A and B are shown apart, each in its own frame.
Chain A
Amino acid sequence: MAGKILATYEYTPAKVEKGYAGKTLYINLSDMTIKEKPVTEKMKELFVGGRGFGLWYLWNAVSSDTKWNDPENEIIIAGGPICGITQYPGSGKAAVVTLSPLTGCPMDNNVGGYFAPLLKFSGWDALEIQGKSDRDVIVFIDGNRGKVVIEDASDEPADTHLLAEKLTERYADSEEDKRNISVVSSGKGAENTLIGMLNVSFYDVKRKAVRVKQAGRGGSGTVFRDKKIKAIVVKYKGVTGDSNNPADKEKIINAALRLHKEIFELDKLQNRMREVGTANLVEVMNDYDLLPVMNFQYGSHPDANRITSKVFREKYFTQNVPDNCWYGCSLSCAKAVDNYEVKTGPYKGQKVCVDAAEYETIAAVAANCGIFDPEYVIEANFYCDTYGLDTISFGNIVGFAMECYERGIINKEITGGLELKFGNADAALELLHQMAKGEGFGKIAGQGVKRLREYILEKTGADAKLLRDISMEIKGLEVSMYVSKESLAQQGGYAFANKGPQHDEAWLIFMDMVNKQIPTFEDKAEALHYFPIFRTWFSLQGLCKLPWNDIVPADNAMTDEPHKIPAHVQNYVDLFNGVTGKNITKEELLLQSERVFNFQRIFNLKMGKGTREYDMPPFRLLGPATKEEYESRAERYDKQLKELGYDIEGKTTEEKMAMLRQYRESQFEKLTDAVYKRRGWNKNGVPTLETVKKLGIDFPDVVELIAKYQE
């Protein structure tokens, strides 16, 4: 029966001390168990919080044989000790960890919205959900009353724009109370594909609208719906600047005021995040030939000027509203389009507020599919969000299918009549609706690029090598939106990334290709050691990466290591010490991350992957995979070959492509060796015993596991 209470749990909310509530809320949906688990000092010491806690719980919950849709799989949502402070920009993030349906390995996402801070102030450092319900449920956590309820949600809609608004209305006592509610939800698309994502809401008091941020990558929403969760709702009233009960508030305030002032003075001169958000990257990437166009074949397009931040700024983004996804984020990059009238599909004619559009979404759903129409971007963005689909994977799937269609590898018989030519926005949207319904070609395409490739191979007997070269996935996850062909360091950044090719682990293109700051293999290996580790830290703490380097101090260029933004690294040391009362150095900050980073790598190994062979990219990530790509930039590639000493006189494009490929693949192998060595891994990409000992993660099961892979 809808609305029926299936389980209730009453508790005394723990008071947050120095950034920790000290407890985890554990729910098993198979038998409706609800209980608390202690957050131990050892957990804090070794895994800190956020992604670290998520990986630790998941490690203990699953075996090497566990599949994503087994009841043992978990979804863990956790902020981290810094999460929830209101003073420093970007401090409300949640890490989401689960076994991914796309990769079979642990997936981590770092998502905004109010969920993680309100969860902590309700007395929980982490939420750990295991098991599978036999009917749709809503989990409601009331942090003021100290009550957790699991309700039957059979009659509730699945799609986020309906559900998050309905539940915000239902659980808030008044309009004023809505900001104390955050909803995690997904949608119908997550039920019928493997690319489902999670939306995390917050209430925008000025727009009077429910807004959503996404834990986008790797199918977390698919796991969520497989467990029959429609929504998780947290309610907590009473957030102040002291809710995290920090040890030394002055340290936090001083860092925060420095950054607020920097943003006030410099953002308008630097990235204009407050004005246009990440959309500013569309024009930058197009100018540097780095914007994925038509399934990553090209890096720019003359029509890209139709989807730049200028267009969104002038025609679509609503301005002068607080576009932060947690209190105190003066960088405020979360742009939105108000009163958008939906043009297609089941919600045609509705007027909606769309959280649109981020750079990644614009590049994926539009440029990568050869579509240059801003209203299509908003439409696709709206539907991906409400259906619970990852825009990056969606754009990759459509781009890949379109290329296969244009090359004659697939036809209308395979696509169910869809004319999947580059630029066909109607066909892309139709495919999106099919994915959500689990019908037609959408049902196959919704399995992701890797499985779509396997399907096409089986159905058509196409050239397997070509298909691998042009299918932009590694470890089963689709590549995020940067062309890495001319940056060896970025190729590694994508290929070695623990969860799969997402740029949050390493974004080195400008350092490498544009500014030439890391010319040698050793330099690149150092960068691919330092940055992935440093960037992991944000997801242990409940922090956003953007206020680290999307705003820099005026004198940053004068520092010894400008690409590290030393002043902001010091801010983070101050924040951690200010919250926890500890006294770490920046070296110890890195050690916290390095430990979790290596643990995640070893977790991949536990799941039967995590070795060198799984770090191999499709060739298109390294260079021109087809004749069209080579010839479109023939001058560049010819010049490179000549400089390398190749005799290209009278050679055909195919011959030159073979030379370039041989060279680039050998470079990638050398890079792999150098990076593994720097990270303390063996040649097979497995951390050595010495490395795990140094990091203090030499638990018996870890040692036993990696021992099998030592040379």
Chain B
Amino acid sequence: MIIEGLIAATFAASMVVLLAPDRVAGRLAAALSLLPVVGSLYMWSRFDATGNALTGGDPAFETIVPWLELGGYTLNWHVGVDGIGLPLVVLTTILSTLAIVSAWASIDDRQSQFYGLMLFMEANLLGVFTALDFFVWFVFWEAVLLPMYFLIGVWGGPRRKYAAIKFFVYTNIASLAMFIGFIALLFGLGDSVSSLDMPAIAGALRAGELGSLYGISAGTLRAVAFVAMFLGFAVKVPVVPFHTWLPDAHVEAPSPVSVMLAGVLLKMGTYALLRFNFTMLPETATRFAVPIALVAVVSVVYGALLALAQQDLKRIVAYSSVSSMGYVILGLIAYTTYGVGGATFQMIAHGLISGLMFMSVGVMYNTTHTRMVGDMSGMADRMPVTAGIFVAGAFGYMGLPLMAGFAGEFFIFKGAFESTVHAAMPLFTAAAMFGIVIVAGYLLLAMQRTLFGSFRLETDYEVGPAPLHETVPLAVLLVTIIVLGVAPDLFFGMIQDAVDPLLDFGGELS
């Protein structure tokens, strides 16, 4: 019941904030958003799930209530969390609260609508990471898009309308491809499933119950559905070449929205890849190991190179997200405990670190009103705390030990080297590791030019340190990143527990 309670409370909070007067909306939203934080931490402390929710494991806080019957299939309200879902739920609640607090300084128009939409999005995100019925999951998945569209389109920068519609169209078309792929699988399963329950479908698919459909053989159907779903999720992640909506969306979105977009929304894509493609169709995934690993490596290297070429701090962080998400894909395709587990851990780590980066860029922008590397110099002189946190976050991004990013990337590389899905995996891993060098290159370059040196910024006002309510979220994030870096087992234990069962698919590696 606690999951329903969390989702319902967040929905209710979004309605309350939507109707509240503008001047209290920000404070009220932050206060109400503490409720899901407390709830998710309580869930973490009482977490008692075993195994993977989709492969016969026993998820925590599970409920199943029949909703409706359609053409022989039962749709259930089915939610629950396992070791993969819970860390993402915690990430969502913490990042939402911090993003809301960080918005106090920058959002000064139609506040109640802004914060209402932020909470509405949070409620749907919680649904995405807890739903265990395909239909329920899909409803939440799509419903996340609507608030995001408005958040970019109303409160964004000069080209916000273009960015919002591009985001919306890209992700919607992707959803359609994914949906068709999944439904084709469902029909291929025939009578072996009688509901849209994800565990049931995953079980049937892993047991090889897939039959032929309209004369298409099971093997072809599996491959086509895999590709359709992969494309659908790849846009969301995003991987090269489907990444072009991301920089536009990030640059135009206000910083708190960027935090949510990079921190949580991108993880929807990798989470879904893990839940659907890599859990339900493991044989097909390993068959496509080479192209997938190639996509991952290209995303890592090309994304990093694109970041190197940017002048806008936000674009740099945006492209580096493409690069980081490439590591996640590489970890997933490795099919080892450390590979898949590390990818899951990296989702959390990257969520926190990219959130921190976007937030500190936002704090600097609020003071300087520019994000161009060339316009700023010596910012550390005037905003020492922000600059310090920015440097710490950047080092986290580069994978400095004792930060969460190190743990995630280290696990992924270890897992990918050990991988047996294809003989060339160590080669791909080595190529991907080269990306770290480029990441270090552009982040150091950007920091050197903006933060250090003598102060130079043309303004007609005094540039001073950021107010406390802007620095506190940064500090909280940084502490969380370090804690997770020092003690990854806070999450990694449960992640491993949920990942191990899905690696054991016993099918032929054809």
A and B interact physically:
no
Binding site for A on B (CB under 8 A): none
Residues of A bordering B, CB below 8 Å = none
